[in-house]
Structure 1
Amino acid sequence: MEYSTVARFHVSLTKFKTYEDYLDSKVTPMELFYLKSRELARKLVEHGHKGTVLSREEFDERKAAAQAAETATSNAFYNRSRPMTLASAGKELKDNFLKALAEREEANRSGKMTSVIFIRDHNTLGQEVSGYIDYAHRLKTQDFELYFNGKKRLMPGRSDLCYYNWKTQVSTSNSSPNFEVIYDNVNGLLFKSRRDKKILNVDPLSGPGEDMSRTFLLSDRYVHVVLYDHSIRTV
């Protein structure tokens, strides 16, 4: 799925104030006439009787991502005229993973580098999940002070480059502003840089690719962490 398609889908969700409004948009007048109950019509839609419908969790997650992206876009011009503020600045970081993110923050914010973060750990339900995160994109759409302050743990989600829940076997993939996901290649999962078309290979038995590097990290906060850095060459 191309990023433009994903972006349009996300933006369309912002017009709904609530999940119920989203469900109502998929209910026809004829269905309301026969069912005589808006609540019943919503339940039929939510449980998939009308095809693929987002769950409440997916709706909330994707709407939040869309709203954050809109806010970032609307403030883009204003932010260009201001000195860059780093979320990691002045923070006392003890974990290797957070230290590594702090070292890469300025380069990812400025466009000198685009990093992909692989995380494997357990979510709040105790389920093992893993996924790949576009760090530069997340920096633009989320407040990373919460992560660097230790108030929130960075975890992969369904709107990231790739996500897999090992218990429910839910799997998603989404191209981002910086990377295109290639998941049907004979060499396995690949990410193509949108800036220079270079290929990132995440197979641990292969080299990561031209202008790419791979860093394995030991972390007190995660089961498994790997950072892939793509240096952007400037002419």
Structure 2
Amino acid sequence: MERKAKAAVEKYLTRFNTYEDYLDSKIKRRDLEYLSSREMARQMLEFGYMGCHVLNREEFDEKRAAGVAAEAKANAKTLASAGKELKDNFLKELAEREELNRNGKMVTVIFINGCNALGQEVLGYIDYAHRLKTEDFEEYFNGKKLMPRQSDILYINETTQTITSKSSPNYRVIFESNGDVTFKNRTDRTILYTDPRFSFRHKEDLKLAGWQTSISSSSTAV
């Protein structure tokens, strides 16, 4: 039980990037009303003058480092791309983003335009983080072709004239009055445009094996 409690504390501390962020989480609004500044409140906390126990800087750094190491070890065991020798540039980009999408520090939208097994032209947008949680991606890193599905945030089959859309945990699908379709990030409210005249943030276009893909990623606050 003691080991579990220690691990829980270490995991909790990984949400803070700095010791100051950790101290800020302990400061209440009423504390700032009585003290002259946030820095003063931090000092009072650190020296134990505010009635609650806090870790000192050395303890915080040590426990947080242990938590980060444990998290990395756990993620390494679950990464579908782990140990794969990838030669395909598109798969390399997905592998680079896999861990961040799994732990919620990044969300990625994948655009794919290609032909399905029936030779039908299909295009769509995939919420990578959501698909990672609902599907085993190891088969894709082993070479299976990744294609949009009707359960993805946007799916268009040019041959059958089928169009479906579905909001995901990370993106809300919005149909604009001018006919455009956009995706709104539920965390930072960033808007991604499907119209090619607009640019995604961090967009990388790749042409692979006769089909087109692009990847758009945005970091989330942690």
Question: Residue by residue, what CA displacement relative to the aligned partner does 1:40-97 show, whole Å, maximum 9, x if unpaired?
Answer: xxxxxxxxxxxxxxxxxxxxxxxxxxxxxxxxxxxxxxxx8x8112110111111111
TM-score w.r.t. the length of structure 2 is 0.63
Share of identical aligned residues, percent? 55
Q: Paired residue for 2:219?
A: 231
Question: Residue by residue, what CA displacement relative to the aligned partner does 1:118-143 show, whole Å, maximum 9, x if unpaired?
Answer: 10111111111000000000000111
Q: How does 1:184-199 map to 2 (within 5 A)?
A: 184-186=176-178, 188-199=180-191
Q: Paired residue for 2:193?
A: 201
Moved over 4 A (4+): none
The letter of the residue matching 2:136 is D
1:95 and 2:88 matched: yes
Larger relative contact order, structure 1 or 2 (CA cutoff 8 Å, min sep 6): 1
What CA distance in whole angstroms lies between the structure 2 residues aligned with 1:227 and 1:185?
26
1:185 CA drift (Å): 4.1
1:136 aligned counterpart, secondary structure: helix
- Higher CA-based Rg: 2
The one of 201, 218, 222 aligned to 2:207 = 218
What CA distance in whole angstroms lies between the structure 2 residues aligned with 1:170 and 1:216?
25
Give aligned pairs, total. 150
The one of 138, 141, 155 aligned to 2:147 = 155
Q: Paired residue for 1:134?
A: 127
Q: How does 1:53-202 map to 2 (within 5 A)?
A: 83-84=74-75, 85-150=78-143, 152-186=144-178, 188-202=180-194
Q: How does 1:23-38 map to 2 (within 5 A)?
A: none
The letter of the residue matching 1:127 is Q
What CA distance in whole angstroms lies between the structure 2 residues aligned with 1:168 and 1:117?
22
1:193 CA drift (Å): 0.7
1:204 CA drift (Å): 2.5
The letter of the residue matching 2:221 is R
TM-score w.r.t. the length of structure 1 is 0.60
- The answer to which of 188-197 and 168-177 deviates more is 188-197
CA contact (8 A) 1:128 1:165 kept: yes
1:186 CA drift (Å): 3.0
The letter of the residue matching 1:184 is E
What CA distance in whole angstroms lies between the structure 1 residues aligned with 2:204 and 2:130?
20
Q: How has the CA–CA distance of structure 1 residues 213 and 197 changed in structure 2, closer, same or farther, with 3 Å as cutoff?
A: same
The letter of the residue matching 1:215 is E
What CA distance in whole angstroms lies between the structure 2 residues aligned with 1:207 and 1:149?
31
CA contact (8 A) 1:96 1:218 kept: no
Unmatched segments (≥5 aa) in structure 2: 1-70
1:213 aligned counterpart, secondary structure: coil
CA RMSD of aligned residues (A): 1.9
What CA distance in whole angstroms lies between the structure 2 residues aligned with 1:140 and 1:113?
14
What CA distance in whole angstroms lies between the structure 2 residues aligned with 1:138 and 1:191?
16
Unmatched segments (≥5 aa) in structure 1: 1-79
The letter of the residue matching 2:112 is I
What CA distance in whole angstroms lies between the structure 1 residues aligned with 2:194 and 2:85?
31
Q: Paired residue for 2:66?
A: none
